[in-house]
A and B are shown apart, each in its own frame.
Chain A
Amino acid sequence: MKFVLDQHAYLNSPIHRWDTRFKLIGFLVLIFAFSFVQELYIMPAMALATVAIFMISRIPVSFILARLRYPSFFLFAVVILLPFISGSDVVFSIGPLDVYEEGIESALLISVRFFSIITLGLILFGTAPLLTSIKAMRSLGLPAILADMTLLTFRYLFEIGNYLHQMETALRLRGFQARRFSRRGFSTLAWLGGSILVRSYERSEWIYKAMIMRGYGQDVNISQGSFQSSARDILALGLLILLAGGFVTAQILI
């Protein structure tokens, strides 16, 4: 079964072919190295590295842009506010409002770091099916309970989302309007939430029985046989760690 997140997971690029375990380690090291950077001079290099990795991944720009829409609201607020409230050196004024140099620098720093890290995260989980990524995390030590819960949650998320849409449609057909706040409307929405929980709970009982019949609970050793690494995978990990080390060193030296 293909999910929204997995729609570009089957492309053919060096990042898609990279052993997911090494990819996870390498990308997470780079993400943390990016969050370590606080110097504006390093920002262009960070943006350039992100664009290069993105181009190697061959993921369409539209996939990234679609996922940047929602988090960009927060960023927009930060970028709009910080230049006016942070700092002491006035660069220019817009009417009664002063624009500060430190505020502009902070807004730039946050924006570039934000877009770089979020793009890396999307590439990391967009270049392998989520099932493979979870298996890789499991082989790196993720507890079985967390791995099973993540996969099941992801598997049933959109189905339960459909329950909500159906129930909201049914409510509207019966004349319910959630535009005004009223005690009755509020309790209806709470019961809607409660019904979603009850339906999911009842569904889980059937799922558990079906899982037991398919052998759920028998320990499977994921670390053996599921992943095979080559010298190229290790080399790619080394390169990414070297890149991350470069950013950290540059930040310390500047």
Chain B
Amino acid sequence: MKAFVRHALWFALAALVMGLGGGVSAQESTQSWSSSVIKIESTRHQYEYFQPWSRRTASNNKFGVVVHDQRIITTADYLFDQTIIRVQKGGRGSWYEAKLQWIDYHANLALLEVEDAEFWDGLQPVRFADPIPTTGEARLMRWNDGRLESRRLEINRLRLGRSALSYIDLPQLELDSEVEGVGWSEAVVVGNQLIGLTTSQARSKCSAIPSFLVQQILKEVDQGTFRGVGFFNFYWKKAENPAALDFLELPGQKRGVIVTEIIEVPGHESVLHPKDILLKVDGFEIDIVGDYEDPSYGKLMLERLATRGHWAGDPVPMTVWREGAMVDLMFHLPKADYRSEYVPSANYDMPPEYLMAGGLVFQPLTEPYLRSWGGEWQRRAPVRLVRLKSQAPTEEDPSCVVLSAVLPDPYNLGYQDYRYLALDKVNGHKVVDLPGLKQALESPQEGFHVIEFLPGEAVSKVILDAPLLKDATQRVMFNYRLPTDYVVGEVDLP
């Protein structure tokens, strides 16, 4: 009896909280969300980088919500390399084919459209909360076995964190949850308003993209003004050690953070210097731990100021203390772009590139390739290749190609154990990509192809017989069932 009373009280309290939070009852709220939460099925290529000509497919279910103009917004995760996307409303019944209208992997957001008008019958666009609450209770909404599952979440805080598919930091809503299997773009709601889309879960903590960011990006996309997400391409350290500020001769109160290193981005000239004390960004004072006082959300890390009303290419005013003087400068936000990395973090929507010559398989060095070594790839992959992840690209040396494997053939006898070797030159030409390699192989030296690897590799050089190369390549393609000897760019295999 006592337990019954206790449960009844809890239910009453929960109903009261929901009523206060959203102005509607829990039941009404759930019912209204059933016309906005969509189940998404994404089927996509799964590439095997150790055999880049291999293809497999995999399907995943995730979620999205209806937004204006008959579209669905969801996270970009698991929509890369997709072959078909289907959507389902009401958690059961017919599936409808959907198309990607827009996707941005750094922002981790995508918009889907569905041509079949029948799909949109009865669906309602969501309302975005702005500002969002940063404490209190929220609910997670997703379809589960034909019913809309509504589960309790506790809002912890708004913080900056690494975007799920990128190397940039974006605002994230951190939530406590006892629910399992979260992170598939489930709707996080308070009352009848969306406050976020989930992106990941680590034990009882899960993260969500806050709805204000979704809303801002959506608005820019609708206006055709979205230029991509910008970021601060520099590292900084806290100025908690007063000796560091004294050394840099900053007068007055301890404040600001110290720039320690600039990340090279091709085509971007940074106006910041190492040992600058960053005092003000976009009009906000920076404290010694790197936070500013956000008008809506209180203390947030300064990286938020790269996306707070700004996009790639925008100027952001900054004030720094440099060599004994206050300096005002204008920082232009570089665009987050995998192609600007020496070893790209990702190459979504592209099959693995490769060039096979005489059984020697060459591939661009990318993080997806390194991830082929498994979950602990940073420890398991060859040290020299992993080390190249931290190399800054230059105009002359923007990227790297590796000899990833040798498919045994009489032509390459003696080389069959060579693999994971970073390429330097071919026939005297510096090689930084596969088109360059292909071109270099067109100019053999006195009947030989001279393939040189970077200093420190297990072997320095390989020699191939140039006149015999074409026949050997054809033979290897036949024997190992390769559909082609050259895949570059977004073109898929024949």
| A associates with B | no
Chain B positions within 8 Å of A, measured between CB atoms, are none
Chain A positions within 8 Å of B, measured between CB atoms, are none
